[in-house]
Amino acid sequence: MPVYNAALFLDRAIQSALDQPQVVELIAIDDASTDGSERILSAWAEKSDRVIYLPALSKEPQRAAAARNRGLAVATAPFIAFLDADDYYLPGRFTRTEAYFKAHPEVEGLIEPVEVVYESDLVSQRQRFCKCSCRLNSYEWMLFSYHDLIAPTLQMNGLTLRRAVLDELDNFDPLLTHAQDLDFGRRMVFNGINIKIAGCKMSPIAAYYHHGSNTTNRLQEKWGVSAILEKKWLQLLASEPSTKSHRAQLFYRYVVFKYQSPPWPRWKKVLLYPILFSWETIRLIKYLR
């Protein structure tokens, strides 16, 4: 659990994790918080021997990817799950997860639905953080594939992995201040990790709390990082054996993030986007060969 200025939410997040009997350790990594989060973490570490508190290494935040990597370096449990400091687990978070892993020892990871709870209306505005396509709108478990990443379905609070898998994934990319989960999910597919994703009709196991201070609301920074992410994967797939379909879909996402996402006026998008898309098609055609 990476922690940056989450004092308002920390008690709820930590308690929700400790309420799960399968949790043997909760590793909380402070990322240079300035709102008293470090005092809350220290108090929890003194109160519970299951809470492992890693203080900040510097006065400047290193962001979530670097913080998660610090936590993974000291984790000892045979299974790894994730929790953002402003979110929380629902009761029975690991009940279905534990049963599935026991019944399917060949499976290396599970992705389960996460409910989104909006700060403005905790009753009427609820949805599952899951791609409800015909393929996934069910009670079935299915193999997590590249196509599940085109419209991102991976929310870190819903992911559980066998510890041994992480040795194959090189942890999280610290250069990505956003979209580390998308990058991580792509590497799981790229490395052939046996991950199963739950159909949307299955009950959620955690809550993603959507509020005004979410780091994902930093749209300009998010768009810039997203463009870097897509370019990184275009270059990777161009240098590795991969299908034309995969490269074409990544190329499309790269162009969308680079040109369509910025808050341009509608007329500018209508006039310029076709020209820019055509230019990128010509400039990056080698990646689609």
Instruction: Tell whether 269 and 128 lie within a shared domain.
Output: no
Q: What is the pLDDT of residue 171?
A: 85
For the stretch 31-61, pLDDT in tens is 999 999 999 999 999 999 999 999 999 888 8
Residue where one domain finishes, among candidates 178, 199, 217 = 217
Q: Are residues 96 and 191 in the same domain?
A: yes
In a shared domain, residues 92 and 184: yes
Judged by average pLDDT, the poorest of 50-54, 73-77, 137-141, 152-156 is 152-156
Give the pLDDT confidence score for residue 76 in this predicted structure. Answer: 92
> How many domains would you assign to the chain?
2
Least confident residue range of 1-10, 116-125, 129-138, 144-153 = 129-138
Q: Cα separation of 72 and 161, whole Å?
A: 12
> 257 and 162 in one domain?
no
- 181 and 224 in a single domain? The answer is no
Indicate whether 185 and 212 sit together in one domain: yes
**Span 149-205, pLDDT tens digits:** 655 567 899 999 999 898 788 789 888 887 788 888 888 888 889 999 988 888 999
- Looking at the structure, do residues 249 and 233 belong to the same domain, yes or no? yes
Is the same domain home to 70 and 213?
yes
Domain boundary among 217, 235, 258: 217
31 and 148 housed in the same domain: yes
Task: Output the domain CATH number for residue 190.
Answer: 3.90.550.10
**Cβ-contact 20, 93 below 8 angstroms:** yes
Is the per-residue pLDDT at 126 higher than 50? no
Q: Which domain holds residue 136?
A: 2-217
Q: 103-112, 186-195, 249-258: lowest mean pLDDT where?
A: 249-258
Does residue 92 sit in the same domain as residue 185? Answer: yes
Mean pLDDT of the chain: 80
In this prediction, residue 192 carries a pLDDT of 85
65-74, 129-138, 244-253, 258-267: least confidently modelled range: 129-138
Residue 208 above 70 pLDDT? yes
Q: Which amino acid is at 27?
A: I
The residues that bridge with 54 in the sheet, in sequence order, are 29
pTM of the model: 0.78
Q: Is residue 236 located within the same domain as residue 270?
A: yes
Residues 280 and 213 in one domain: no
Distance CA 255, CA 222 (A): 15
- Closest to 82 (Cα-Cα) out of 139, 29, 136: 29
Domain boundary among 217, 248, 271: 217
